[in-house]
Amino acid sequence: AMTDVLSAEDIKKAVGAFSAAESFNYKKFFEMVGLKKKSPEDVKKVFHILDKDRSGFIEEEELKFVLKGFTPEGRDLSDKETKALLAAGDKDGDGKIGAD
């Protein structure tokens, strides 16, 4: 579970901070949720939780529901927010984000 890696309180605050449509800022979110302070191993654990189809990648369709991956109360990202997050994480331009 996500709370095995991150604090439930941090998750609640971070998801709540971006509850308004079009407000999602991935840099601020990952900082607020505590990921920036985590080890590479812990970051990979979070990645694997978000990789719902276990493909080894997080595709655009999975990114849309990234906030729900942290808590069921999270909202879906808009297409614009999803594409911005994908562009930031997709270093090789293959349309998906790998664990590295």
Q: What is the pLDDT of residues 25-78, one digit of tens each?
A: 999 999 999 999 999 999 999 999 999 999 999 999 999 999 999 999 999 999
Sequence ranges of the binding site for Ca(2+): 51, 53, 55, 57, 62, 90, 92, 94, 96
- Whether the model clears a pTM of 0.85, i.e. scores above it, the answer is yes
Is residue 100 in a domain? no
Domain that holds residue 42: 2-91
Q: Tens of pLDDT along 14-32?
A: 999 999 999 999 999 999 9
Q: How many domains does the chain have?
A: 1
Q: Classify residue 98: in a domain, yes or no.
A: no
Q: Does residue 77 lie in a domain region?
A: yes
What lies within 8 Å, CB to CB, of 67 at 6+ separation is 15, 18, 24, 74, 75, 76, 77
Q: List residues forming the annotated binding site.
A: 51, 53, 55, 57, 62, 90, 92, 94, 96
Domain at 23, CATH number: 1.10.238.10
Quote the tokens at residue 9: 């309180």
